[in-house]
Each structure stands twice: as structure tokens, then as C-alpha cells.
């Protein structure tokens, strides 16, 4: 009887965690989504909040961009490090 109660309680807890887990949103890696960051990265201008929002959404894609020779210099440039710091985003080591 005690084993049955423990099993039912375990299943209940597992079900609760499963139902309350947030849905994972698929991320589309699109470098154009970082267009609000062009000025700060290219010219060192102030970092707007739109840039930070875009950077946070595209953060999982940064390694993909860093591997592309066209974008690698921008991902790890000094202005990019400042923008990442302004936005409280860590640049990945790829």
C-alpha cells in the first residue's frame, strides 16, 4: 500500500512539472535581426534598447555568426564586446 502511494505521488509530481514547464520557442538565426546594433557595433554609438532585445533573442546564434568569415570580426570586435556588456549578454566562446 505504501509503495502504491509513493508511486502515485511521484507520478503526480512528474505530471505537475511537465504541465508547468514553459514552451520552448524556436529561434530563427537571421543576422538581419541585429540591424538595431549596426551603429553601436560599427561606429561605437550608444546602444539602444532595441539592439539589446535583438541581441538577447539572437544570442543562441552568435556562434553560427562567429563561424562565418563575413561576420566573425563583428561578433568579437571591441565595439561588439561593449555592446554585449551594455546589454548584459555574454559573448560565447565558439
How is the chain split into domains, by residue range? 25-87
Residue 70 dihedral angles phi and psi, to the nearest 5°: -70, -30
Helices 78-86 and 49-58, packing angle to 10 deg: 100
Greater model confidence, 38 or 1: 38
The 10s digit of each residue's pLDDT in 14-68 is 334 434 444 445 779 999 999 999 999 999 999 999 999 999 999 999 999 999 9
More confident residue, 41 or 6: 41
CATH superfamily of this structure's domain 25-87: Plant lipid-transfer and hydrophobic proteins (1.10.110.10)
DSSP string, 63-83: HHHHHSTTTHHHHSSHHHHHH
Amino acid at each position: 500500500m505504501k509503495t502504491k502511494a509513493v508511486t502515485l505521488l511521484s507520478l503526480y509530481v512528474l505530471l505537475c512539472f511537465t504541465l508547468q514547464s514553459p514552451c520552448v520557442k524556436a529561434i530563427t538565426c537571421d543576422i538581419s535581426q541585429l540591424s538595431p546594433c549596426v551603429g553601436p557595433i560599427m561606429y561605437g554609438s550608444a546602444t539602444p534598447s532595441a539592439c539589446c532585445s535583438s541581441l538577447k533573442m539572437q544570442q543562441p546564434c552568435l556562434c553560427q555568426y562567429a563561424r562565418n568569415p563575413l561576420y566573425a570580426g563583428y561578433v568579437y570586435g571591441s565595439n561588439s564586446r561593449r555592446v554585449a556588456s551594455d546589454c548584459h549578454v555574454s559573448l560565447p566562446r565558439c
